[in-house]
Amino acid sequence: MSRRWWPVAVRRSTALASVVLCALVFTVGWLGTRAFLAVQLDANAVNSATIELNRMAAAYQVATVDGGRSALASAVTNGDAMFEVVTDSGQSVVRSENLRRLDPAWTALPPAPRGVGADWTTSTAVALRPGANPDWREYRTYEVLSRVVDDVPAALVEPLGREEVELSAGLGGGSAQNTYRLTLHLFVLPWDRQRALRSFDTTLGYFVPLAVLLTALAAWFSAGRALRPVEAIRSELAKVSATGLDRRVPVPPSGDEIARLALTTNSTLDRLERSHQQQERFVADASHELRSPLASLRASLEVALAHPDRVDWPVVAQRSLLDVQRLQRITADLLQLAAQPGQPSGSGVVDLAEVVLEQVAERAAEPGGRVVVRSEIAGAALVDGVQVQLERLLRNLLDNAVRHAEAEVTVRLGAEANRVVLEVVDDGLGIPVEDRERVFDRFARLDDARTRDEGGSGLGLALARDIATRHGGTLYVEENKTGARLVARFPTAGG
C-alpha to C-alpha distance for 431 and 479, rounded to whole angstroms: 9
Q: Is 186 within 8 Å of 147 (Cβ atoms)?
A: no
CB-based contact 56:155 (threshold 8 Å)? no
Domains of the chain, CATH where assigned: 1-60+190-225 (no CATH), 83-188 (no CATH), 257-336 (1.10.287.130), 344-491 (3.30.565.10)
Q: SS3 breakdown of the chain: % helix, strand, coil, rounded to 5? A: 50, 20, 30
DSSP summary character for residue 344: P
How would DSSP label each residue in 210-238? HHHHHHHHHHHHHHHHHHHHHHHHHHHHH
Helix (H, G, I), strand (E, B), or coil: what is residue 469? helix
Each of the 495 residues of the chain gets a pLDDT tens digit; together they read: 445 666 667 778 888 888 888 889 989 999 999 999 999 999 999 999 999 999 999 888 875 556 667 888 888 877 788 899 999 999 999 998 888 878 878 889 999 998 888 889 999 998 887 766 555 555 678 899 999 998 888 888 888 988 888 888 888 766 656 888 999 999 998 888 889 999 999 999 998 899 889 988 888 888 777 777 877 877 777 777 766 777 777 887 877 777 788 888 888 888 888 877 777 776 776 676 677 678 778 888 888 888 888 878 888 888 888 778 777 777 776 676 666 555 555 578 999 999 999 989 888 767 667 889 999 988 888 999 888 889 889 988 998 899 889 889 999 999 888 899 999 999 988 889 888 888 888 766 565 433 444 455 567 888 889 889 988 999 999 988 888 999 999 999 876
In the three-class reduction of DSSP (H, G, I as helix; E, B as strand; rest coil), residue 42 is classed as: helix
Helices 460-470 and 387-404: crossing angle in degrees, nearest 10, is 150
DSSP secondary structure letter of residue 8:
-
Q: Are 145 and 166 in contact (CB under 8 A)?
A: no
Half-sphere exposure of 342 (CA within 13 A, CB side): 5
Q: What's the pLDDT at 110? A: 93
- Rounded to two decimals, the pTM is 0.51
- CA pair distance 95, 73, nearest whole angstrom: 14
- Show the DSSP H helices in 61-136 as ranges: 65-73, 97-102
- The confidence score (pLDDT) of residue 138 equals 57
Q: What is the 3-state secondary structure (H, E, C) of 376-439?
A: EECCCCEEEECHHHHHHHHHHHHHHHHHHCCCEEEEEEEEECCEEEEEEEECCCCCCHHHCCHH
Report pLDDT for 243.
Answer: 63
For residue 153, what pLDDT is reported? Answer: 85
Residue 378: the pLDDT is 86
Helix (H) or strand (E) holding 142: strand 140-153
